[in-house]
Structure 1
Amino acid sequence: MEVFIFALLTLTSLVYYYYKKSFQYWEKKGVAQIKPSFPFGNIENPMTSKGGTVMNLADLHKQFKAKGEKIGGIYAGATPMLLIVDPEWVKNIVSKDFNYFNSHAAVFDEKDEPLEAHLFNLEGARWKDMRVKMTPTFTSGKMKMMFDILLVCGNQLEEFIDSTKKDLDIKEILACFTTDVIGSCAFGLECNSFKNPNAEFRSHGRKLFESSLKFRLRNVLTMISPTLVKSLKLHFTDKCSSKFFRGVVKDTFEYRKSKNVTRNDFMQLLINMEQTAKENNKSTYSIDEMAAQAFVFFLAGFETSSTTMTFCLYELAHHQDIQDKLRKEINETIKKHGGKLTYDAIMDMKYMEQVINETLRMYPPVHTLPRLCTQTYTLPNGSTIEKGTNVFISLIGLQRDEEYFPEPNKFNPDRFSDENRRNITPYTFLPFGEGPRICIGLRFGMMQTKVGLSLILKNYKVSPHESLSYPMEFDNQSVILSSKGKIMLKHERV
């Protein structure tokens, strides 16, 4: 018994000494830090956190800003990380000195889970090669070709809202819409989520983004010990969903090649990439590699766009004057373009873009930009960031900073008018990221969002349900920025 107590005391002393020494890391480098605590450092306890990582980092951003700091040293457990506060330093990290921070610090095991080897997670030469080959998918010409496919899904959205007499669970409705859009534009499949909300595509999409304690724990462990995450095989992707998506891609490839079917969608680009590689005697991509790229198209296009539209309608329901102004633009623009919603029509909707941008400012779905320092870097103040250090930018903290956006919690689309937009400080509005790793699907996401909002608002006025609170409370267990609970809206035809 005495030996056990001695061993326990010794172990406790060693752990205490390790943490105490680790928590001096940034002070020794001359970088300001906020006092960390055992055992989570500056990261909130994932078991009891009310705001999750999103609000935790936003609060740390605010604390460093109040001290006049441009950067701040923080800790995940005993692991040192850096939070970038000043927009000029943000520019250095994501653009100017990109070569030092070209990784998203993703932790994945491609052999164990092939779908996670997608564009967002890839690094170095593999990322660059894939980025170059995938970029042509999102040109204006390709967007126009996919628009008609998108509009068919939009018609199903219209029919559903026209037929429902109940209040709108807008979060779920828009998730059905974007599931159908991505299923069709990326995989060439009709998902029919409105007629069958439990269809496989919708079911797996829901599973991938559902709130869970497991995700929060994995998120914290990724920051504390990436090696432990790998050894425990803690994957973001559900095994059942992985099998489903890989099967869909394989079956689609085989069907199109055997039947010589072509279509203006993302899957066709992957088929063309494989064919071009063969013609040039270059190594081709495996089914799993191509499935991973189709999978990230689904991840990025399905949830982020539906969430953006949900946040937007939530704000418009609480700001009827802005909603009326937007509806007027929608209907006048459609009339100008022959009474139809066309690609050129949505590109003409300038106020619509202002409204969406203000929504993204207040509610960036991807709320934190992560980077990994891939080679030792000297900061403008002379401090160094060691290779392997995780670097974060809190978009909530930056985009709700009153220095750059006065009355930051007020929904005001006029911030993004032609006259006012030029006054926005560069690198303070980054909902799609910036620099070489800016979101490749930016145009597609905006197109999808504009169509969804246009189809709802041109005929309907939305207003808050009695159950809805303002301001919004966020879900602290969600993968991306999301509301806690349902967003219920009333609707009436205008």
Structure 2
Amino acid sequence: MLLRSFTHSNVVMILNSFVFLLCCLLVWVWMKWLRVKSYWADRNVLYSPPHPVFGSLTFLQKENPDPLWTSARKRLTTVFTAAKLRAFQSVALHKSKLLVERIAMDNKNGVRTDIRNMFTDFTTDVVGETVFGVSSNSIMNEEGPLRHITKELMTYSTYRGLSACCVFFIPELINVFRFKFFPKDLQDYLRSLFRLTVEQHGGYEKEVTSNRDLIDAILKMRQDAVKEGQEMSEDFLVAQASIFLQGGFDTSAVALTYIIYELAFAPEAQERLYEEIAKTKERIGDRDFDATTLSEMPYLNAVIKEAVRKYPAMAWLDRVASKSYEIDENLTIEPGTVVYINTMGIQNDPQYFPEPEEFKPERFLPENEDQITPYTFLAFGDGPRHCIGERFAYQTIRYALAHVIYNFKVKKIENSKCPSECSFEKKGMFLTPGETLFVNFVPRM
């Protein structure tokens, strides 16, 4: 009886202690939440109420591996110099001609083309051959080793979305839940493909004397790092190649998808673009379009910029404050603070771009560009951390767009949604269509 009584007393005491500790924890969490909730209010800054779990994303990213990142960026930038892009243009030209053949073939066979998949076939080939040195013919057969990878990368799920979110925002949870930016089977495939490509380039030890493609640049980067006593693991090198593939094929393909879809609903803009392309073609005669000629076509470039204004590949940018920055007397951004920039919001703000929902390439014509407020067009970022593939992306898009519009009139399909009604993919990292988009391609000749 005594033992039973003693045991009962212990249980009561333990329960009371647990309840007390739980109450203390809840009070602590509540007090911390109140401080977080009032953070911007205390500084008289206009803000959206934070979420109890996700906050305003100001507490998420904790670390930035600057030394290694800076070294890698400096060396990989050599892949996208003006001279290197000129060397790549023959591939973009060839693939653009095949793109025209693909559209004509689909028309002949009565195939209703998913324009995003079609442009992804195109960009996969361009990125594969110019950046990785891997031959690919996805445009004509929709298959190939790299196309297998890009199809996987285009397949989203709740788990992949959560994994990507943690990689960017809550790195502390990566090891706890074993999250991966890419699925494990895809990681293994990328690693195998990378090793095979490195072997074809002569291996890690063969001295790199020229940067023909990204793999050469990666190999030289590793060799230079070894000489400087800096360690670069194979996984780090594979990661650089993988991110270039992810960022290179998808963003350009999606940009082309939105451009073509918008032009189908904007016949006047499309006709103006065609006239510019046709006049340029008449001027150069039998010569093919080249990178310089395309870059000097103002309306072509304005169309591209207007599309990536409305649909920036990354709807947000993140930066870490390197030093204290005083906004006003109430707010100072402390060093190490993560600052998130709402690219989508800025580029669709009527204060900076009147009637932002309208597709108006004229905003970006040379005579109007000086009216754009600095740092409100951030489709490729800005400053020292801007996208190093920007010029490569523009060149790829220019070649495809010029060839498609020169050969086909793009028309909307009856009863199809207008661009502003189309949904976005909710589980992906990039801003991509959330539904399949179709248009009619009508031969001009």
TM range (shorter): 0.7 to 0.9
Counterparts in 2 of 1:290 and 1:411: CA distance versus 1, 3 Å: same
**Corresponding residue to 1:363 among 308, 311, 315:** 311
1:255 and 2:269 matched = no
Query: What do residues 429-456 of structure 1 show as CA deviations (whole Å, max 9, x unaligned)?
Result: 1111000001111110000001111121
In structure 2, the residue matched to 1:199 is: 144
Q: Distance in 2 between matches of 1:180 and 1:135?
A: 21
Counterparts in 2 of 1:9 and 1:128: CA distance versus 1, 3 Å: closer
Counterparts in 2 of 1:476 and 1:40: CA distance versus 1, 3 Å: same
**Corresponding residue to 1:310 among 257, 275, 291:** 257
Task: State the SS of the aligned residue for 2:201.
Answer: helix
In structure 2, the residue matched to 1:129 is: 71
Whichever residue aligns with residue 312 of structure 1, its letter is I
In structure 2, the residue matched to 1:353 is: 301
Please tell me whether the aligned partners of residues 26 and 80 of structure 1 are also in contact (alpha carbons under 8 angstroms). no
Whichever residue aligns with residue 486 of structure 1, its letter is T
In structure 1, the residue matched to 2:245 is: 298
**Corresponding residue to 1:25 among 17, 39, 50:** 39
> TM-score, normalized by length of structure 1?
0.77
**Corresponding residue to 1:164 among 95, 106, 111:** 106
Query: What do residues 11-30 of structure 1 show as CA deviations (whole Å, max 9, x unaligned)?
Result: 55554343233312233344
Counterparts in 2 of 1:466 and 1:475: CA distance versus 1, 3 Å: farther
Query: What do residues 140-162 of structure 1 show as CA deviations (whole Å, max 9, x unaligned)?
Result: 11111011122222233222111
Query: What do residues 272-306 of structure 1 show as CA deviations (whole Å, max 9, x unaligned)?
Result: 4456667x676575543333222222122101100
Please tell me whether the aligned partners of residues 308 and 359 of structure 1 are also in contact (alpha carbons under 8 angstroms). yes
Moved more, 287-296 or 159-168: 287-296
Query: What do residues 195-232 of structure 1 show as CA deviations (whole Å, max 9, x unaligned)?
Result: 44343322221222433222443455567743123432
Counterparts in 2 of 1:251 and 1:142: CA distance versus 1, 3 Å: same
Please tell me whether the aligned partners of residues 164 and 181 of structure 2 are also in contact (alpha carbons under 8 angstroms). no
Q: Distance in 2 between matches of 1:206 and 1:388?
A: 37
Query: What do residues 32-54 of structure 1 show as CA deviations (whole Å, max 9, x unaligned)?
Result: 4333354444xxxxxxxxxxxxx
Residue 350 of structure 1: how far off its partner (Å): 1.6
Whichever residue aligns with residue 20 of structure 1, its letter is L
Please tell me whether the aligned partners of residues 72 and 221 of structure 2 are also in contact (alpha carbons under 8 angstroms). no
Counterparts in 2 of 1:106 and 1:196: CA distance versus 1, 3 Å: farther
Q: Distance in 2 between matches of 1:219 and 1:284?
A: 26
Whichever residue aligns with residue 266 of structure 2, its letter is H
In structure 2, the residue matched to 1:213 is: 158
Please tell me whether the aligned partners of residues 146 and 265 of structure 1 are also in contact (alpha carbons under 8 angstroms). no
Residue 241 of structure 1: how far off its partner (Å): 1.8
1:491 and 2:441 matched = yes
In structure 2, the residue matched to 1:445 is: 393
Task: State the SS of the aligned residue for 1:487.
Answer: coil
Q: Distance in 1 between matches of 2:164 and 2:224?
A: 38
Counterparts in 2 of 1:336 and 1:285: CA distance versus 1, 3 Å: farther
Q: Distance in 1 between matches of 2:322 and 2:187?
A: 29
Task: State the SS of the aligned residue for 1:314.
Answer: helix
Please tell me whether the aligned partners of residues 467 and 488 of structure 1 are also in contact (alpha carbons under 8 angstroms). no
Counterparts in 2 of 1:459 and 1:252: CA distance versus 1, 3 Å: same
Whichever residue aligns with residue 303 of structure 2, its letter is V
Please tell me whether the aligned partners of residues 137 and 143 of structure 2 are also in contact (alpha carbons under 8 angstroms). no
1:322 and 2:269 matched = yes
Please tell me whether the aligned partners of residues 461 and 493 of structure 1 are also in contact (alpha carbons under 8 angstroms). yes
Q: Distance in 1 between matches of 2:207 and 2:70?
A: 30
Residue 246 of structure 1: how far off its partner (Å): 2.1
How many residues in Structure 1 have an aligned counterpart in Structure 2?
A: 421
Please tell me whether the aligned partners of residues 120 and 250 of structure 2 are also in contact (alpha carbons under 8 angstroms). yes
Please tell me whether the aligned partners of residues 264 and 410 of structure 2 are also in contact (alpha carbons under 8 angstroms). yes
**Corresponding residue to 1:482 among 416, 432, 438:** 432
Q: Distance in 1 between matches of 2:182 and 2:388?
A: 21
Please tell me whether the aligned partners of residues 304 and 365 of structure 1 are also in contact (alpha carbons under 8 angstroms). yes
Task: State the SS of the aligned residue for 2:292.
Answer: helix
Task: State the SS of the aligned residue for 1:164.
Answer: helix
Query: What do residues 165-184 of structure 1 show as CA deviations (whole Å, max 9, x unaligned)?
Result: 22321010001100111111
Query: What do residues 403-426 of structure 1 show as CA deviations (whole Å, max 9, x unaligned)?
Result: 111111111111111111111111
Q: Distance in 1 between matches of 2:285 and 2:260?
A: 26
Structure 2: 5+ residue stretches without partners: 1-10
In structure 1, the residue matched to 2:84 is: 142
Task: State the SS of the aligned residue for 2:367.
Answer: helix
Q: Distance in 2 between matches of 1:294 and 1:37?
A: 36
Whichever residue aligns with residue 35 of structure 1, its letter is P
Higher relative contact order (CA 8 A, sep 6+): 1
Please tell me whether the aligned partners of residues 185 and 265 of structure 1 are also in contact (alpha carbons under 8 angstroms). yes
* Percent of paired sites with the same residue: 30
Counterparts in 2 of 1:286 and 1:22: CA distance versus 1, 3 Å: closer
Please tell me whether the aligned partners of residues 313 and 430 of structure 2 are also in contact (alpha carbons under 8 angstroms). yes
Moved more, 432-441 or 285-294: 285-294
1:455 and 2:400 matched = no
Q: Equivalences for 1:331-342 in 2 at 5 Å?
A: 331-339=278-286, 340-342=288-290
Counterparts in 2 of 1:457 and 1:129: CA distance versus 1, 3 Å: same
Q: Distance in 2 between matches of 1:374 and 1:317?
A: 45
Residue 388 of structure 1: how far off its partner (Å): 4.2
Please tell me whether the aligned partners of residues 174 and 309 of structure 1 are also in contact (alpha carbons under 8 angstroms). yes
Q: Distance in 1 between matches of 2:20 and 2:182?
A: 40
Q: Distance in 2 between matches of 1:22 and 1:155?
A: 56
Q: Distance in 2 between matches of 1:283 and 1:226?
A: 24
Please tell me whether the aligned partners of residues 190 and 238 of structure 2 are also in contact (alpha carbons under 8 angstroms). yes
Q: Distance in 2 between matches of 1:222 and 1:277?
A: 26
Query: What do residues 363-405 of structure 1 show as CA deviations (whole Å, max 9, x unaligned)?
Result: 1111111112355544344523344432111111111111111
Moved more, 151-160 or 266-275: 266-275
Q: Distance in 2 between matches of 1:486 and 1:395?
A: 24
Residue 139 of structure 1: how far off its partner (Å): 1.5
Counterparts in 2 of 1:449 and 1:303: CA distance versus 1, 3 Å: same
Please tell me whether the aligned partners of residues 215 and 479 of structure 1 are also in contact (alpha carbons under 8 angstroms). no
Structure 1: 5+ residue stretches without partners: 42-74, 82-104, 108-121
Please tell me whether the aligned partners of residues 180 and 193 of structure 1 are also in contact (alpha carbons under 8 angstroms). yes
Query: What do residues 113-142 of structure 1 show as CA deviations (whole Å, max 9, x unaligned)?
Result: xxxxxxxxx732222222221222211111
Q: Which has the larger radius of gyration?
A: 2
Counterparts in 2 of 1:7 and 1:155: CA distance versus 1, 3 Å: farther
Q: Distance in 1 between matches of 2:431 and 2:265?
A: 20
**Corresponding residue to 2:357 among 375, 384, 409:** 409
